[in-house]
Amino acid sequence: MNAAAKETLGFQSEAKQLLHLMIHSLYSNKEIFLRELVSNSNDAIDKLRFQALSSPELLAEGVELAIHIDLDEEAGTITISDNGIGMNREDAISHLGTIAKSGTAQFLESLTGDQQKDAQLIGQFGVGFYSSFIVADKVVVETRAAGSEPADGVRWTSAGESDFEVESIEREIVGTSVTLHLKADEKEFADGWRLRSIVKKYADHVSVPVMMKQLATEDDAEPEDEIVNTAKALWTRSRTDVSDDEYGEFYKLVSHDFQDPMTWSHNKVEGKFEYTSLLYIPAKAPFDLYNRESPRGLKLYVQRVFIMDEAEQFLPLYLRFVRGVVDSNDLSLNVSREILQKDPTIDSMRSALTKRVLDMIEKLSRDEGTYQAFWDEFGQVLKEGAAEDQNNKEKVAGLLRFATTASEGPVQNQSLAAYIQRMQAEQEKIYYVAAENYHTAANSPHLEIFRKKGIEVLLLHDRIDEWLMNYLAEFDGKQFQDVARGELDLGDLDNEEEKANQEEVETEFTGLIDRVKELLGEGVSEVRITHRLTDSPACLVVSEDDMGMQMRRILESSGQPVPETQRIFEINPEHPLVAKLNDEPDVDLFNNLALVLYDQAKLAEGTQLEEPATYVSRLNKLLLDLAAG
Ligand code: ADP
Ligand code: MG
């Protein structure tokens, strides 16, 4: 095929879907097309500058790197041009015709069809180049890659429906220009004043100059180009000179988010290592927060030269929701990802930045309402830190929030410090129960004795919780204790009289214990009298070293082999059904009742029965016996 030939190609199906959605849900955020296009031009210039570090011939002496925005009111077009890295034909086809973000298909599935909600989601996804089609019904991109010949220019044209055209063109200059042919009802954007105010709003903190023609002068002189943005990297300015609005707009520029950030922290560090960081916590979690492969991290600059996006070495994985920039004075300009991984400077920057973020979160936690909003978005990820970050374990644990038997409903709003304050005088441990959902945790039979004694218990119901508890042995010198695990030892919370009483009951019921043990055989490791139940007849307990049930379910559902664990079956001598069992001479009746109690103990903790139908028929037999008197 002749390279100059015009070809028509289809958009990748995800791209097509996204295009369609964007046009139909972003009508109240139309202006962002400008931010996206200017940001692409800025990226292209950053990339060229970066490549020129090793190939200086790419950047001719005296060339001023800049973005131009031109307007043709009569034709109804806006053109955004840059003299950055440019694209060759293949680049244009793949970069402008497909979406490279991983997880796009799942993202699209997660959309609701509700335009307002979808607009939010798309905002977090990052709309990019395709936002042009919110206001334009035809987009023409002319581009030429740095280092290529004038004959290697490319023209890419699309109406944004299902396909685009590419053809080779002669192009004198390197870089890209994007021309938007505004839709009939979007001509309002073809207005110098309007456009300028949008540029001010969305592109002020682009560090490259954005040039526009002067607005009409009174004496009808030919208007000249002038810079319309601040064109100074925001983080290099002093904190007191930057307004909240400016911080907010800069955040939107680096994150492509629509919303203002929840909070930020801007710091210049001097001394052994010199760097500036500007870190943001978004208001909403990104759509791919749980996709471990998604690129994440800070934008890295070295002495104000852009080096890379998504430098993930500066923060631990559990702080992956943080956005922002770090600008180092010490790193070399040709630093690579590989070097970053080995450089000891990075380690100390990483621990300082981690502390900084934890301080930001700590500050948020001083206001309950704000912190709840933070927790609902990012709490699950923060829990990873309490398990993984050895250096900051206690600090992160202090930021965790839980539902407890003292709080209302599934909302996680109690700190460990508050729990410890409410502990009873003789209480030594922090008690918790872990289950698949809040309801199962809150209604666990294991809580009965704690309710009776008025001891607060943490109700853990996130998937990650039991895993977390494997790593979080103690907080503020207090050990954690799973109430469904091991012998229940309430320490001094039980008085002498209660202890003596327990021993007496145990001897009284040895006969029953043996009969049940024989019936259940290998199914359980032990049968014993319980001290933790008041209302339920029986429960199941994990022994001290075995895997918890919640953890088991997670592993099983991820298809991993899980070793069988035998559990301890505990029965409540105070319960009338257990008393009945103790007095039951008929072997069939005894077996039926004991097995029903055993299955019920599983049901109460949220375990699925292996043979639910057998359980139902046993129970029905008992009911019939009852009915027959
Ligand atoms: P993103 O910027 O997040 O990668 P976009 O949809 O905004 O996504 O852009 C897609 C890609 O198109 C960019 O990554 C870049 O490779 C290419 N591109 C867009 N605009 C330009 C430009 N002005 N100069 C060079 N390449 C560009
Ligand atoms: Mg972009």
Site of tokens 């629509």: 258
Distance between Cα 102 and ligand 1 center (Å): 16
User: E strand or H helix at 52, and its extent?
Assistant: helix 32-54
* CB < 8 Å & 24+ apart, contacts of 191-196: 191/71, 191/73, 192/71, 192/73, 192/216, 195/34, 195/69, 195/71, 195/78, 196/228
Q: Which percentage of the chain shows pLDDT scores above 70?
A: 99
Ligand 1 contacts CB of residue 176 (under 6 A): yes
Pairwise CA distance, residues 116 & 19, whole Å: 16
Ligand 1 contacts CB of residue 36 (under 6 A): yes
What DSSP line would sit under 283-320, residue for residue? Answer: SS--TTTT-TTS---EEEEETTEEEEEEEGGGS-GGGT
Q: Count of alpha carbons within 13 Å of 198, Cβ hemisphere only?
A: 20
**Helix boundaries (H) for 76-153:** 89-97, 104-110, 115-125, 132-135
The whole-number pLDDT of residue 62 equals 85
The whole-number pLDDT of residue 78 equals 97
The whole-number pLDDT of residue 217 equals 66
Q: What is the pLDDT of residues 164-222, one digit of tens each?
A: 999 999 999 999 999 999 999 999 999 988 999 998 888 888 889 999 998 876 677 78
Q: What is the pLDDT of residues 370-415, one digit of tens each?
A: 999 999 999 999 999 999 999 999 999 999 999 999 988 899 999 9
Q: Tally Cβ neighbours within 10 Å of residue 135.
A: 26
Distance between Cα 471 and ligand 1 center (Å): 43
Distance between Cα 292 and ligand 2 center (Å): 22
Retrieve residue 202's tokens: 């969305």
**Nearest ligand, measured from the Cα of 208:** 1
CA distances from 609 to 510, 572, 604 (A): 28, 21, 11
Order of strands, sheet of 77-82, starting from the edge strand that comes earlier in the sequence: 7-10, 163-169, 153-158, 136-144, 175-182, 77-82, 67-72, 210-213, 225-227
**Nearest ligand, measured from the Cα of 125:** 1
Q: Which domains does the chain have, with CATH numbers?
A: 3-230 (3.30.565.10), 235-364 (3.30.230.80), 401-492 (3.40.50.11260), 495-628 (1.20.120.790)
Pairwise CA distance, residues 455 & 428, whole Å: 11
Q: Would you say residue 480 has pLDDT above 70?
A: yes
Q: Would you say residue 3 has pLDDT above 80?
A: no
**Helix boundaries (H) for 204-335:** 244-255
Ligand 1 contacts CB of residue 46 (under 6 A): no
Nearest CA to ligand 1 atom 7: 128
Pairwise pLDDT comparison (351 vs 26), residue with the higher score:
351
Pairwise CA distance, residues 304 & 329, whole Å: 9
Ligand 1 contacts CB of residue 85 (under 6 A): yes
> Do 140 and 81 contact (CB within 8 A), yes or no?
no
The whole-number pLDDT of residue 286 equals 86
Q: What is the pLDDT of residues 14-56, one digit of tens each?
A: 888 888 888 877 777 788 899 889 999 999 999 999 899 889 9
Distance between Cα 29 and ligand 2 center (Å): 16
Nearest CA to ligand 1 atom 15: 95
Q: Count of alpha carbons within 13 Å of 36, Cβ hemisphere only?
A: 21
C-alpha angle 231-320-278 in degrees, rounded to nearest 5:
30
Phi-psi map region of 486: left, alpha, beta (phi>0 left; psi -120 to 50 alpha): left
pLDDT band per the 50, 70, 90 thresholds, residue 505:
confident
Of ligand 1's atoms, which has the minimum distance to the CA of residue 40? Answer: 20
Q: Tally Cβ neighbours within 10 Å of residue 338.
A: 8
Ligand 1 contacts CB of residue 128 (under 6 A): yes
**Helix boundaries (H) for 344-437:** 344-364, 368-388, 393-399, 416-422
The whole-number pLDDT of residue 271 equals 84
CA distances from 500 to 124, 222, 496, 526 (A): 62, 102, 6, 22
Ligand 1 contacts CB of residue 40 (under 6 A): yes
**Nearest ligand, measured from the Cα of 132:** 1
Distance between Cα 165 and ligand 1 center (Å): 17
Please choose, from the candidates 406, 413, 403, the residue with its C-alpha nearest in 3D space to the C-alpha of residue 369. 413
Cα of 93 vs its chain's centroid, Å = 31
- What does the chain come to in residues? 629
- Ligand 1, from 45, 104, 129: best to mutate by most atoms within 8 Å of Cβ? 129
> Do 89 and 166 contact (CB within 8 A), yes or no?
yes
Please choose, from the candidates 436, 439, 448, 400, the residue with its C-alpha nearest in 3D space to the C-alpha of residue 420. 400
**Helix boundaries (H) for 480-586:** 496-508, 510-520, 549-557, 576-582
pLDDT band per the 50, 70, 90 thresholds, residue 2:
low
Q: What is the pLDDT of residues 139-164, one digit of tens each?
A: 999 999 999 999 999 999 999 988 99
